[in-house]
């Protein structure tokens, strides 16, 4: 019976380790049930009837705390560090800074109709712009008044 309890508890711990890779709580719940089954068997098995109650209780607590410690070590040193490179995307999106190369006050020409967004050319640099006047036809002369994330703010020149 002792070997059976050990196998059930080890199987429960392995199921809980599997839960780190297979989401859905099924493996984790089955793992917890296996560990609790091992605890119940330790407390009720006739093989341990000769043991005093506090010995059986100590063994049951050892199963619970040992399983928990083993899972914490698993999560801390193996699952998160070893598998992190394989299962975690570590890409970063650069911030949408103001377009470089065009300063406030620069003048350019609208390449597309600005309704209010469009493209404009500033001394050979093509940039996305937003017209503060609302609408500007193709070929309109523009002046940069500021920036916002991803766009230059422009106004029509008279």
Q: How many CA atoms lie within 13 A of 93 on its CB side?
A: 2
Q: What is the dotted CATH code of the domain comprising 107-156?
A: 2.40.50.140
Instruction: Give the tens place of pLDDT for each residue, 95-139.
Output: 655 445 788 899 999 999 999 999 999 988 999 999 999 899 999
Domain borders along the chain are 2-87, 107-156
Which pLDDT score, from 0 to 100, does residue 94 have?
A: 67
What is residue 136's DSSP assignment? Answer: B
Nearest in space to 14 (alpha carbons), one of 65, 66, 67? 67
Tokens of 86: 């394989």
What's the predicted TM-score (pTM) here? Answer: 0.55
From residue 8, how far is each of 14, 22, 63, 66, 142 by CA, in Å?
10, 20, 11, 14, 76
Q: How far apart are CA 128 and CA 149, in angstroms?
A: 10
Tokens of 42: 């330790």
Which pLDDT score, from 0 to 100, does residue 154 have?
A: 95
Which pLDDT score, from 0 to 100, does residue 62 have?
A: 97
Top-confidence residue, 103 or 155: 155
Which pLDDT score, from 0 to 100, does residue 10 have?
A: 97
Tokens of 101: 């190369």
Which pLDDT score, from 0 to 100, does residue 83 have?
A: 65
């Amino acid at each position: 019976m002792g070997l059976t309890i050990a196998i059930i508890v080890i199987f429960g711990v392995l199921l809980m380790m599997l839960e780190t890779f297979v989401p859905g709580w099924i493996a984790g719940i089955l793992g917890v049930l296996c560990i609790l089954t091992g605890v119940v068997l330790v407390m009720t098995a006739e093989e341990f009837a000769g043991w005093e109650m506090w010995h059986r209780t100590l063994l049951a607590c050892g199963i619970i705390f040992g399983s928990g410690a083993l899972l914490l070590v698993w999560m801390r040193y193996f699952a998160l560090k070893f598998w992190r490179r394989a299962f975690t995307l570590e890409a970063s999106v650069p911030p949408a800074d103001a377009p470089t190369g065009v300063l406030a006050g620069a003048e350019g020409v609208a390449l597309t109709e600005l309704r209010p967004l469009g493209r404009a050319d500033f001394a050979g640099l093509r940039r996305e712009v937003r017209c503060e006047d609302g609408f500007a036809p193709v070929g309109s002369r523009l002046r940069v008044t500021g920036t916002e994330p991803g766009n230059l703010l422009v106004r029509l020149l008279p």
